[in-house]
Amino acid sequence: MTPFDKDQGDRDCTANPHRGEASLVVAGSPRLLRPSFSALVAAEEELGPLFALVERAASGQLRLSEMAALFWHCLASREGLTREAVGQAVAEQGLAACARPLRALLAQILQGQG
């Protein structure tokens, strides 16, 4: 089984940057963020058009709640987590620390898998 197999969840949390994956520490454990089609559709349903989300991020207008929502939808495994824990992780780590996984997800949204 590879770190990318769905059944393994994100126990190894080996993010593949070529797939737009990133990691985020939530509740003391690194969690894999995987921007799959279904994850992005779910995020878009909640947050509105993803291109507008990218534009808000580029102009410094992305809200903390939007960042946490995007991370929530892109978690490869939510086992043992709550959405509140993801938001708390963002608040605890701060925007600077969360910028790296956010950039990876936004780049995947814009560029797709090359």
Question: 67-112, pLDDT tens digit by residue?
Answer: 999 999 999 999 999 999 999 999 999 988 999 999 999 999 888 7
User: Over 80: is that where the pLDDT of 11 sits?
Assistant: no
Q: Name the pLDDT band for 9 (thresholds 50, 70, 90).
A: very low
* Residue positions counted in the chain: 114
Confidence (pLDDT) at 14: 85
106: β partners: none
**Using CA of residue 78, residue 82, residue 87, residue 88, what is the dihedral sign?**
negative
26-79 pLDDT, tens digit each: 999 999 999 999 999 999 999 999 999 999 999 999 999 999 999 999 999 999
Nearest-5° angle of CA 73, CA 76, CA 79?
95
Can you give the residue ranges of every domain in the chain?
31-111
Distance in angstroms (rounded) separating the CA atoms of residues 15 and 75: 11
Its pTM stands at 0.86
> What is the DSSP code (8-state) at residue 5?
-
Burial class of residue 80 (count of CB atoms within 10 Å of its CB; 0-12, 13-18, 19+): exposed
Amino acid at 50: L
